[in-house]
Structures are given as C-alpha cells and as structure tokens.
Amino acid sequence: MNSKKLRAVGRTATATALIVLVAAVGLGYLWLSSGGTAGNSFQGTIQGAGATFPYPFYSNLSQQYLKVAPGVQINYNSIGSGGGIRQFTDKTVDFGASDAPLTDSQFASAAGVVHVPMVIGGVVAAYNVPGLSNGLRLTGDVLAKIFLGNITRWNDSEIRALNPTVTLPANPIIVVHRSDGSGTIFVWTQYLASVSQTWADAVGVSTSVNWPIGLGGER
C-alpha cells in the first residue's frame, strides 16, 4: 500500500481489553470419556481446530500433555473461529476454539457441547499515520464512525478535537479488516455495537459481517 496512507486500522480489534472465550470441550473430559484412566491407558489423537489467537497456547499444551499422557497426541489447526465452530458442529474434530460463543442454532447442532474458558487476551486497535510521533486518542464512537465510513480523513474535526496538540495530515483513512470468519471479528463488532447504536443497527455482531467499507484480508 501507499506508505503515505494508513496501512491498517486494527486487526479487527477493540480499544479496550476484552476477555476471549474459547468454546472447547475439556481435554481431560475427552481423555476420560474415550476410555482413559489415571494410569494413562488411552492411546490416540485428539483433534482440534479454530481460532488463530490461542494457537501458541494449544501448541504448548500439546507438548506438556504428552509428558503426563505419553500416548495422547493433541493436534490443533488454527483456521479461524468460524472454521473451528463449523468443524466442531460437523463433528470432524474433538474440540473447537472460538472467540465467539455458539449461537442457539449452533448449540442445537452440537449436542452435549461444553463451553470452557481457556485463554484471556487483550485486543487493541492499530493504526499507521505518517509523521505521527505520539499516540492518538480515539474514542469508541470515533472508531465506529471510521469503520462505518463516516470519518474518512485523519484531520477530521472529531479526531482533531480529541488530539488538539497533534498535527494531523489530511491523508485518507484506509480501513483494513479480516475477510474470513473470525472470533476477532466477533469481539470487534461486539465492541463497536456496544458504543454505536448505528453500528448495531446497520452491521450488527457476528464472526462474519458485511463491512460498510475497507479492504479485507485473511489472517
């Protein structure tokens, strides 16, 4: 992209820390329900898929779990929350990880599912403004207007009012967002809906939405 323009406004993220819930079936429960005992008699593979955010955790968990259950291999495919939910409800994996909880219809198609919070993470908005040496103050309302396409330049009066001591360029704001189904999208749109009724009414909250503006890219 043109270096004189904004390269990214967030990896579909919020300006405040939010709890990330992972929809997963407890690994210990899977082990025991598959015939495992305290003597580690179960031999086999536990397959999971889903959100990219917790991949480092599950990768490390697999290595640690092998130490206490040498016969158990945990494989986790980081394909995004939407893919994890789909594969779990299609019963092609043993557990799915998602930043978004299952909907009522998804619950109905996954009998016996258990939600287990596994990972907590902070999510923030990212931006790149040429020549800027200090951070910008951006409120939730302003962020929502940026993603709605109502604020299109960095020297917009609402941004200048929040940053009176900062010299802002007239460069256009280029919004970048995830294009694939993602729990991060759920977290981000949930935040925007909580600070902007316009966003809530026009776009809503989901792991995949019709973005009003912006360039989409996969993780």
pLDDT digits (tens, 9 = 90+) for 40-87: 566 889 999 998 888 999 999 899 988 888 888 999 999 888 888 889
pLDDT at 103: 82
Span 100-109, mean pLDDT?
Answer: 83
Residue 170, phi then psi, degrees to nearest 5? -85, 15
The pair phi, psi for residue 75, each rounded to 5°, is: -110, 130
- Going from N- to C-terminal start, the domains of the chain cover 1-18+122-219, 27-108
pLDDT in tens, 148-167: 999 999 999 999 999 999 99
> Whole-angstrom Cα distance, residue 95 to residue 167?
50
CATH architecture of residue range(s) 27-108: 3-Layer(aba) Sandwich (3.40)
- Write down the CATH number for the domain with range 1-18+122-219: 3.40.190.10
pLDDT for 19: 26
Contacts of 125 (CB under 8 A, 6+ apart): 9, 10, 13, 14, 15, 138, 143
Would the pTM count as exceeding 0.75?
no
Instruction: Report how far residue 129's alpha carbon sits from residue 13's, in angstroms, rounded to the nearest whole number.
Output: 17
Contact 184, 80 (CB under 8 A): no
Cβ(74)–Cβ(58) under 8 Å? yes
Sign of dihedral through CA atoms 105, 111, 117, 122? negative
